Structure 1
Amino acid sequence: MSSDGPIYRTKNYPHPQQQQSSQFYQPTTPSPQSQASNAHEGDYTVPNPQSHNGFFSPQTAFYGSSNQATSSIEFLSNNPFLNVGFNVVEQGMKDMTDKTINMLPNQMKKSLSSIKYYFAVDQTYVIKKLCLILFPFRPRNWSIGYNADEPVPPRVDTNAPDYYIPLMSAITYVLVAGLVLGIQNRFTPEQLGMHATSVLIWNIIEILILSITFYIFNIQSKLRILDLIAYCGYKYVGMITALSSYLITDSLFIYRLALLYISISLSYFLVKCLRLQILPDIGGSQPYNTNGNTRRIYLLLFVVLLQPLFIWYLTQHLIIP
């Protein structure tokens, strides 16, 4: 069959809707790796932190490597300006401390330097002194040893007063008091601060009362204020013993029995220790006076009987009858 005009051949193109549907609906199923990569493609790049020993930690994400930290420390330590500044500050603090000490009175400087004497203890001294406070009824020599008119350190003489046992026993008392309140469901974190403050305040009040009493009685003795602070601090050993007996037995009767024994043992211990320092030396070093001797005995009894009163007052509010 022939025709006069040109012959055009038509090509069958797919419909646009069919082409679009063929692009989105693929017969093949993509792999999970390709789906994860396509999900984040074009949004941001996920960091791939290097883990330490196979684990990822927040430190590796937010902090630099250890090499950077080491280099920073080396830079600070090798910086001459910082070293000069540290030296100036250290020298200034040293000069300020020396000037402050030099401005103090001579008696106060002597007292500050003598505080080291009360901390010269060892483990053997602490064990022996605790046994002596709790069981003082065995006959023994209660005099303090001297070396060139100076008392020997506590680690050499068990009769010498110290500050280590009073300080540690006061801290232990605060912790035991918190434990007692915790067992009774009455503990709050503020209780520890309140008991620590009460320990400090009552110590100051006690020393002030005794110092005023010594001044009123006008008694000159070998007992110093620093020694008196140490002897008054031994009562915390008895307070810990009384509270511990209540914790172990949960019995008010056992607490009162322990309180009675501690009061007697501590009073006996203080009488034996203080009578050689408060009472006059009849051997001849101090003049004997009947009225003065009576005042000294009253003062000794006042110091001794004040300790059981403080032990009862500072522990009875912790016990629920």
Structure 2
Amino acid sequence: MYNNVGGQPGVPRPPVNSQPTPFGNAFYGAGSGLIRGGLGAYGEKILGSSSEYVQSNISTYFSNPQYYFQVNDQYVRNKLKVVLFPFLHRGHWTRISEPVGGRLKYKPPVYDINAPDLYIPFMAFGTYVVLAGFSLGLQGKFSPEALNWLFIKGLLGWFLQVALLKSSLFFLGGSSDAPFLDFVAYGGYCFTGLCFAVLGRILWNYSYYFLMPWFCLCMGTFLVKTMKRVLFAEVRSYDSSRHHILLLLIAFAQLPLFTWLGNISVNWLI
């Protein structure tokens, strides 16, 4: 469908758009300042440890927040194609690595279409909340309290998706060194399909019943491909039967999750 943004390993290729997006600049300062500064200072106060020790451990667990916002317009377009239409992706699913300081590190999203990012999940989540509020308004049920509950419902769905991916790797004996923000990024991509499904219901109510199963299937396929080629590479031992069972679990879990999040109503529990 398109060429991988990063090209082949070992052959540097400059990004098409060297200037980061405005949203990216905003998240650079906010994400880095909160995680490295705020949480580090809080940990130092509570635990009595040095600021360097606390911040280094937080950085190890959360990786580098700025990495996940190094995107450009071309990456966003191509990534949306991979997430929404994974069947059309003809490239490989493995991430591109490069030697940095004697160690192999993954290239940022702007150079690699298979790298996880947080720009698309955050934008999709915000769009989902806005569309959900607009849908409630058309039903005559909008209220600030209902919108707050839908916001919490979306966050809870995101958390459940991340917990599913993280626990799948844990049950396979995967390395705990996998950055937590990788799971957050992969789990947040579900809101891209949900936005189109909710928008379809707003424009034509019956289209929801075609769009929801389609994007549910696409998200399941995307996560299976990603977990199989990217995250399961961290697993120490290979057990094909356990791999296949957990991959099927991840795929089938998208149906109840999408159905729950796609049901825009005042009662957010159903």
Q: 1:98: how far off?
A: 9.8
Larger radius of gyration: 1
- After superposition, residues 47-196 of structure 1 pair within 5 angstroms as 97=41, 100=44, 101-104=51-54, 106-112=56-62, 114-138=64-88, 139-148=90-99, 149-196=104-151
Q: How many residues align?
A: 218
Q: TM-score, normalised by structure 2?
A: 0.70
Q: 1:184: how far off?
A: 1.0
2: CA distance, partners of 1:99 / 1:215 = 26
Q: TM-score, normalised by structure 1?
A: 0.60
Alpha carbons of structure 1 residues 142 and 205: separation in structure 2 relative to 1, 3 Å: closer
- After superposition, residues 166-245 of structure 1 pair within 5 angstroms as 166-220=121-175, 224-245=179-200
Native 8 Å contact 1:222 1:277 kept in 2? no
Native 8 Å contact 1:136 1:268 kept in 2? yes
Residue deviations 1:11-38 (CA, integer Å, cap 9, x gap): xxxxxxxxxxxxxxxxxxxxxxxxxxxx
Match of 2:10 in 1: none
Amino acid at match of 1:304: A
Native 8 Å contact 1:280 1:293 kept in 2? no
Alignment RMSD (CA, Å): 2.9
2: CA distance, partners of 1:288 / 1:109 = 27
Gaps of 5+ in 1: 1-92
Q: Is the partner of 1:150 in helix, strand or coil? A: strand
Residue deviations 1:221-279 (CA, integer Å, cap 9, x gap): 8854321211110000111111111111132xx21110111112112222222211344
Native 8 Å contact 2:220 2:250 kept in 1? no
Native 8 Å contact 2:118 2:185 kept in 1? yes
Relative contact order higher in (CA < 8 Å, ≥ 6 apart): 2
Task: Percent identity, please.
Answer: 27
Residue deviations 1:51-107 (CA, integer Å, cap 9, x gap): xxxxxxxxxxxxxxxxxxxxxxxxxxxxxxxxxxxxxxxxxx99x949844352743
Amino acid at match of 1:142: W
1: CA distance, partners of 2:218 / 2:130 = 24
Native 8 Å contact 1:279 1:297 kept in 2? no
